[in-house]
Amino acid sequence: MGECGAPGDVNSNVLVARSTGDAQLDKAVWQWLSWDKNQKTKEQIESLLQNGKHKELRDRLCCRLTFGTAGLRSAMGAGFCYINDLTVIQSTQGIYKYLERCFSDFKQRGFVVGYDTRGQVTSNCSSKKLAKLTAAVLLAKDVPVYFFSTYAPTPFVPYAVQQLKAVAGVMITASHNRKEDNGYKVYWENGAQITSPHDKEIIKCIEECVEPWNGSWNENLVDTSPLRQDPLKKICDCYMEDLKKICYHRELNMQTNLKFVHTSFHGVGHDYVQLAFKAFGFQPPIPVPEQKDPDPDFSTVKCPNPEEGESVLELSLRLAEKENAKVVVATDPDADRLAVAEQQENGCWKVFTGNELAALFGWWMFSCWKENCSEDADVKNVYMLATTVSSKILRAIALKEGFHFEVSVGFMISSWQINQCNSMPACFSTTNSLFLGFMCGTSVLDKDGVSAAVVIAEMATYLESKNLTLAQKLIEIYETYGYHISKTSYFLCYDPPTIKRMFEKLRNFDGPQSYPSFCGIYNILHVRDVTTGYDSSQPNKKSVSCKTLVFTKPLTWYCSLSSDRTVLEEELQKLIEALIENFLEPDKNGLIWRSA
């Protein structure tokens, strides 16, 4: 969103009396107080104004949300750079304007809206309310809206966009983020997250219509408009039926004595993971009772992020020990990510990293394809995808087995890659990021923790029938395709100018427009900056991937090496220490270490 527009119809005498002395800030305050109909967030701005908190007002009102790799995401609260009723209305108005331009049949095909269970009492803000306002903007403009009647997993929205042939969809969620946050995730007609240039064009459209339209605040339209349909049952039934296409050992699943524990981290996943296990022929996984039901406060964990490992899996692991369950699966609050833990022979638990799970998924999906493909099937028609920041174990498997491997930026998968995959008779995609996101098959073109949970359960069941564990199979995979070790972690930084300064330094390291050629004692072979589109490994120095931010808040490092594990682990740790000392400089930049 850009500069503020003209003031709305408000009592100018009151506003003049409260003038901040800053014309731009005054205009932003006028806009907020005239446009916001949420009493809680309106009072937050009024209180700051009355108490002379001009810096905080400026921080809240003089910068605006922009699309990142996860759509719009920020803390809930008052202000144009926060997630709240008004900014969601503005964003949806911009999306309406852009989609009306792109699709002549927009009002025939419709739009999908889903939401998770987040909420904040102090701002009278919840995912469901934000979803209702999203729907209201579109319904008021005579656009059919497929609005889920209750909370649903994030992957259901892109799946619904494809199944219902809608032009686009929005999921209100902040996924694994802290409880204070919420977000607005946009999917295109192909069921994939929006990429450039759509994101930039939508921002332009938002800038052109920031004042709420008549009807945009009427959240009751969801309950009264004949243009609203509830897709929940149809989408859930179709999803579970499609899931059976990647079930290869139903008989084993039905007979196994292996038990599983599932935690949904106070989110949406419980009901849907139960149904997925049923679709594969399993007995239902044992739920963690304290974490089974939605709770926007995430009261039993410091952070609802499965990447934090054993510290956030404590309740799951203790329940698994009590129930003699050998495998724990954890979906994050919107059920698009997965964590897995397995009890080892010595009684300890191994929590798999995202890259380790990627290796297991890659081996499994390809092995299942080989066992079930027709005699004339061509391995060159098999594709696997991985994100920029993932281990390249899938590339190693692809090189040895002969199938295609592609890299994409996050899960913002390009239309070319999607079309290539969907045109193939046998395409199994798996991908992984820092936060344990996987995609098995092509029914859902986004991270999907529900399908990943049941696929890993079938994998564990099959391996148990061969007297193997997941951890033992992982070692076999490394022995076959080469050891790939990696470490991923992050720092927190809540000051955008600091983040900007750090990246500007990296882009002008040894002079203007000069990237670093060394990191401590380590020589840098190539630099790829997908934000600016620069890639030193390409002949034209241009990145082949779409522009996006690989490093965002929280600041994250990704280090990976492949070869002999015992030789490389020490070297990898030294490399990470050099990267932190030379590039991130946490003490100088006031960065906060990740803490589980």
Residues annotated catalytic, as ranges: 175
Which residues, in sequence order, are CB contacts of 356 under 8 Å at separation 6+?
A: 474
Q: Where are the alpha helices (DSSP H) in 435-538?
A: 449-465, 470-481, 496-507
- Please give the Cα distance from 377 to 442 (Å, whole number): 18
Could you tell me if 526 and 537 are in contact, meaning their C-beta atoms sit under 8 angstroms apart? yes
Angle at 201 between CA 200 and CA 207, to 5 degrees: 95
- State the burial class of residue 98 (Cβ atoms within 10 Å of its Cβ: 0-12, 13-18, 19+): buried
Which residues, in sequence order, are CB contacts of 25 under 8 Å at separation 6+?
A: 54, 57, 58, 61, 62
Q: Is 439 helix (H, G, I), strand (E, B) or coil?
A: coil
Could you tell me if 478 and 565 are in contact, meaning their C-beta atoms sit under 8 angstroms apart? yes
Could you tell me if 270 and 264 are in contact, meaning their C-beta atoms sit under 8 angstroms apart? yes
Q: What is the 8-class DSSP label of residue 537? A: T
Could you tell me if 248 and 371 are in contact, meaning their C-beta atoms sit under 8 angstroms apart? yes
Q: What is the 8-class DSSP label of residue 5? A: -
- State the burial class of residue 239 (Cβ atoms within 10 Å of its Cβ: 0-12, 13-18, 19+): buried
The residue with tokens 């949970």 is 453
- Number of Cβ atoms within 10 Å of the Cβ of 392: 19
The residue with tokens 């099937």 is 377
What is the amino acid identity at position 288?
Answer: V
- Number of Cβ atoms within 10 Å of the Cβ of 595: 9
Q: Which residues of 133-168 are buried (b: 16+ CB within 10 A; e: fewer)?
A: bbbbbbbbbebbbbbbeebbbbbbbbbbbbbbebbb
- Number of Cβ atoms within 10 Å of the Cβ of 7: 17
Angle at 504 between CA 185 and CA 68, to 5 degrees: 5
Closest among 244, 116, 258 to 181, alpha carbons compared: 116
What is the amino acid identity at position 469?
Answer: T
Which residues, in sequence order, are CB contacts of 160 under 8 Å at separation 6+?
A: 112, 114, 146, 166, 169, 231, 235
Q: What is the 8-class DSSP label of residue 284? A: P
- Please give the Cα distance from 264 to 270 (Å, whole number): 6
Could you tell me if 380 and 403 are in contact, meaning their C-beta atoms sit under 8 angstroms apart? yes
For 97, 201, 465, 482, the CA distances from 101, given in Å and listed in that order, are 6, 11, 56, 50
